[in-house]
Amino acid sequence: MRRERGAPRPGWEKIIESQGLAYHRAAHPEGLSRPYWDESVHYVFSMDEVDALEAQVEELHEMCLRAAGHVVETGRFAEFAIPEWAAEDVARSWERRDPHLYGRFDLRYDGTGPAKLLEYNADTPTSLLESSVVQWFWLKDTHPDDDQWNSVHERLIDRWSAMTLPPGPTHFSWTNMDETGEEAMTLAYLQETADQAGLHTVAIAMEDIGWDSLNRRFVDVEERMIRSVFKLYPWEWMLADPFGRHAVRHATWIEPLWKALLSNKALLAILWELYPGHPNLLPAYLDGPRDLTSYIAKPLLGREGASMRIVTPDGGQETPGSYGREGYVHQAFDALPDFDGQRPVLGAWMVADEPAGLGIRETSGLITDDTSSFVPHRIERP
């Protein structure tokens, strides 16, 4: 694994916008000189490295599924801040194996040892279009003889084709709270993959989904019954909404309710409990840092690196945010590797239960947040 520099393609902004990456100009807070999509640099991997990463990610996913089963079997929902009234519904969703689509592992990896799991974005992961489409065309334009860990697009279409969904259109829903357009862009892309799989789809804002109390069903703006919904709206928000008690029992939601267990950072502590010393895990605890001298406190339901606290013998660091009322997990702190002053996080994609590809975000800081840039990668042919 190494980081290389290269000249951006002439007119790269228009190229990526034509491929759907419309929000890249609004993706960063104001005042940053580096673009969100940065093809002036990229990472290079060997095929052996990618094969090893793929095997590790597949094992991590299997471990996460077993951890979810453990939580359901032992009733440990309170540790995940799952409301008591919703616990049985989470269990039923898991027992039915309600269909799921995709997820993204965030990994620490420097090319010299096993990847370390930082978290699993298993409910509403983004940076998808960048990983599946945009960096693929970058590869074809700049290094056509090389390869890339990237079968995301094809696997998404295949997964939609394999799903058994209720009759009628599948609705694709975003929230009007999306200020940058990232969620709308991601949703439009996923809707396109479903269309290519032959599904009948309809786009709708979450705020426009109505509840028909007489017939006890969700409806869209045309009063059509909503039977299945893909949502870019986290389950913890849904459970806190007034319609949350209806949502857990009506309609097929993708991602399903049981994904609320995998997208919660309490999962990190459960994994360490079930697989202590596993080479792809970092020690993690829910009841405090215990014997960890260097650790990072992560809110169970935090997003974009907000409300985190790093503690080391040499000092600490905090990020602003309003998360944490739901509790924290304390994970051993292993600083992201330094490549030319930048620290990459590897985002390894799962589609259904299969590893599907890789996206990389990097920043100069110790915590990957909304100031990070997405950079492409390639697999060097021998």
List, in order, residues 6 or more apart from 325 with CB less than 8 Å away. Answer: none
* Angstrom distance (rounded) from CA 376 to CA 24: 14
CA angle 329, 268, 320 (to 5 degrees): 40
* pLDDT recorded at residue 344: 97
Q: What is the pLDDT of residue 31?
A: 64
Per-residue pLDDT in tens (0 to 9) along the chain, 382 residues: 999 999 999 999 999 999 999 877 766 666 677 899 999 999 999 999 999 999 999 999 999 999 999 999 999 999 999 999 999 999 999 999 999 999 999 999 999 989 999 999 999 998 999 999 999 999 999 999 999 999 999 999 999 999 999 999 999 999 888 777 888 899 999 999 999 999 999 999 999 999 999 999 999 999 999 999 999 999 999 999 999 999 999 999 999 999 999 999 999 999 999 999 999 999 999 999 999 999 999 999 998 889 999 999 998 899 989 899 999 999 999 999 999 999 999 999 999 999 999 999 999 988 888 789 999 999 998 8
Q: Cα separation of 9 and 15, whole Å?
A: 9
Alpha carbons 261 and 234: distance in angstroms, whole number: 12
Half-sphere exposure of 29 (CA within 13 A, CB side): 5
Domain ranges of the chain: 2-264+337-379, 283-332
- What pLDDT does 27 receive? 61
Separation CA 273–CA 282 (nearest Å): 11
Whether 115 contacts 355, CB under 8 Å: no
Q: For the chain, give the secondary structure using H, E and C.
A: CEEEECCCCCCHHHHHHHCCCCCHHHCCCCCCCCCCECCCEEEEECHHHHHHHHHHHHHHHHHHHHHHHHHHHHCCHHHHCCCHHHHHHHHHHHHHCCCCCEEEEEEECCCCCCCEEEEEECCCCCCHHHHHHHHHHHHHHHCCCCECCECHHHHHHHHHHHCCCCCCCEEEEECCCCCCCHHHHHHHHHHHHHHHCCCCEEEEEHHHCEEECCCCEEECCCCCECCEEEECCCHHHHHHCCCHHHHCCCCEEECCCCHHHHCCCHHHHHHHHHCCCCCCCCCEECCCCCCCCCEEEEECCCCCCCCCEEEECCEEEECCCCCCCCCEEEEECCCCCCECCEEEEEEEEEECCEEEEEEEEEECCCCCCCCCEEECEEECCC
Residue position matching structure tokens 């090319």: 111
Tokens of 299: 């809110």
- Give me the pLDDT at residue 304, please: 83
